Amino acid sequence: MPGARRRRSTTVADHTRSRRTRSAAPHTVGPERYWGWHRLRADWAARLVTDAGYGPDDLVLDLGAGDGALTAPLAATGARVLAVELHPERVRRLRRRFAEQPRVTVLELDLLDLRLPSRPFSVLANPPWSLAKPLIAALTAPGTRLGRADLVLQRGLVGDLGRKGTAGTGSRRRYRAEYLTSVPRWAFSPAPPAPAAVLRLHR
């Protein structure tokens, strides 16, 4: 990961382990959990990137990058982009697509094994909905360097967190949770089984 590592970086799984076992792992869940994919239309992806307002000084993680619907407009802002994808064929397509863009790094990696950057970072992603809760827990855990995250998730979950107003673990909830905007089902291909919305996590 970019940036100097003065301390051990943490993975999503580090924040989702119980005393008995990890809450999820590639060998304990069905393939649909990881291969399920609802691609954002290009116009919606561009809209979300524009609204986020990233620039050359930012490090942005695209978690569950798919075919690069968000990666491409993020790269156009000049930001340093880390695109994380597990599906082998999608990874190959991403690497071909962004081979000439040195500020885009593609990682073939399970999101639960992602080591979070040791430098300040942001997230703009359309991740697998089945991984929403462990991702949010990891991104908002004490010690992470997250500045802001915009996550396209199931609308019901976004609404619940937005009403609660905070996200994190334990009594130290350092991040505010905001229902940013609704995303219609027709904004995806194929359409997801439920409506979507954008959850913004910020300090």
Asked, for residue 179, whether it belongs to a domain, the answer is yes
Show the beta-strand stretches assigned E in the chain.
39-40, 59-63, 80-85, 104-108, 121-125, 146-154, 166-167, 175-183, 188-189, 196-202
Asked, for residue 59, whether it belongs to a domain, the answer is yes
Q: What are the binding residues?
A: 38, 40, 64, 85, 110, 126
47: left (phi over 0), alpha (psi -120 to 50) or beta: alpha
Asked, for residue 4, whether it belongs to a domain, the answer is no
- Percent of residues, the chain, with pLDDT higher than 90: 76
Asked, for residue 20, whether it belongs to a domain, the answer is no
Q: Which residue range(s) make up the domain with 126?
A: 38-202
Round to whole Å and give the CA distance between 149 and 139: 8
Model pTM score = 0.84
131 has pLDDT over 70:
yes
Asked, for residue 9, whether it belongs to a domain, the answer is no
66 has pLDDT over 90:
yes
* pLDDT single digits (tens) 67-112: 999 999 999 999 999 999 999 999 999 999 999 999 999 999 999 8
Read off the CATH number of the domain in which 74 is found: 3.40.50.150
Residue listed under structure tokens 């089902």: 185
Show the beta-strand stretches assigned E in 52-165.
59-63, 80-85, 104-108, 121-125, 146-154
3-state SS assignment for residue 43: helix
Asked, for residue 159, whether it belongs to a domain, the answer is yes
Query: Residue 159: phi, psi to the nearest 5?
Result: -65, -40
* pLDDT single digits (tens) 160-192: 999 999 987 655 568 999 999 999 999 999 999
DSSP 89: H
Asked, for residue 130, whether it belongs to a domain, the answer is yes
* pLDDT single digits (tens) 142-161: 999 999 999 999 999 999 99
Q: What are the binding residues for S-adenosyl-L-methionine?
A: 38, 40, 64, 85, 110, 126
Number of domains forming the structure of the chain: 1
Asked, for residue 50, whether it belongs to a domain, the answer is yes
Round to whole Å and give the CA distance between 74 and 28: 33
3-state SS assignment for residue 102: coil
